[in-house]
């Protein structure tokens, strides 16, 4: 798809551009980044909550792995092998 075939440089076109095998074009990449910048600016509380949840999840996983290292290692290995099989 040539960049002049369709509209580019908007958040909507960015969503479409993401699906291209060659990846996003420069105008769409910029539009996507600007959208996210604006999103974080408009919703600092929601963004902060999401980040806090992600951080808490990471810490909980680390603690679980520390408490149950053998079980965690076995599950991790199982998932790695499953990932390779599919
Ligand atoms: Zn594009």
List, for residues 38-68, the tens digit of each pLDDT value: 988 888 888 888 888 999 999 999 999 999 9
Å from CA of 42 to ligand 1 middle: 25
Å from CA of 36 to ligand 1 middle: 16
Report pLDDT for 71.
Answer: 95
Q: How would residue 2 be classed by pLDDT, with cut points 50, 70 and 90?
A: low
> Could you tell me which residues come within 8 angstroms of residue 25 by beta carbon, excluding any fewer than 6 positions away?
3, 8, 17
Report pLDDT for 45.
Answer: 84
* pTM check: above 0.85: no
Instruction: Look at the chain and count its residues.
Output: 86
Å from CA of 46 to ligand 1 middle: 28
Å from CA of 8 to ligand 1 middle: 4
pLDDT tens digits, one per residue of 21-35? 998 999 999 999 999
Å from CA of 38 to ligand 1 middle: 19
């Amino acid at each position: 798809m040539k960049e002049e075939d369709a509209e580019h440089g908007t958040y909507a076109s960015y969503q479409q551009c993401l699906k291209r095998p060659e990846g996003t074009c420069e105008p769409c990449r910029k539009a996507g980044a600007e959208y996210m910048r604006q999103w974080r600016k408009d919703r600092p509380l929601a963004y902060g909550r999401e980040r806090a949840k992600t951080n808490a999840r990471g810490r909980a996983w680390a603690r679980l792995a520390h408490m149950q290292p053998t079980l965690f290692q076995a599950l991790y290995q199982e998932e790695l092998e499953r990932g390779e099989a599919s």
